[in-house]
Amino acid sequence: MKYKIICVGKIKEQFYRDEIERLLKMIRKRNDVIDIIEIPDVNIPDKLKEASKEKFLDNECKPMYARIKKSDYIIALCIEGREYSTDKHKEIVENAAELGKECITYIIGGSLGISDNVKKLADVKLSFSKMTFPHQLMRIVLLEEISHL
């Protein structure tokens, strides 16, 4: 299977980068293809009003569109998504492959999440928890999950 993770921001901390590299090697050992595409994060204005939040997210997520193909099966990580077991997640991926989808594309937003327009593209909205975690850590959690599929 081919996997793609499109995420906002770069990983700065070496311990996160080391763990990401370890998980990528493990996934690639079983001949899966996996790419991580980092798009730049945008500085959040100090006094961002709720009414301007979606416009900000649209701007931050805009570079994602060029990286998403029509043949991708899109899974957006978002707080309002459903929580799935690893077995159910594996079933979702297998069903996407049976539908002829060439790539499972995961979307991870920045500090404020992802835009509604990107969420509308998603075939599945996935939440790992109702808690809030840094997007750097979510990249590791997602890779760990993919390594068990």
Distance of alpha carbon 131 from alpha carbon 136, whole angstroms: 15
Q: What pLDDT was estimated at residue 96?
A: 98
In order of their start, the domains of the chain are 2-146 (3.40.1280.10)
Residue 53, Cβ density class (10 Å: 0-12 exposed, 13-18 middle, ≥19 buried): middle
pLDDT in tens, the chain (149 residues): 999 999 999 999 999 999 999 999 999 999 999 999 999 999 999 999 999 999 999 999 999 999 999 999 999 999 999 999 999 999 999 999 999 999 999 999 999 999 999 999 999 999 999 888 888 899 999 999 999 99
Does the model's pTM come out above 0.85? Answer: yes
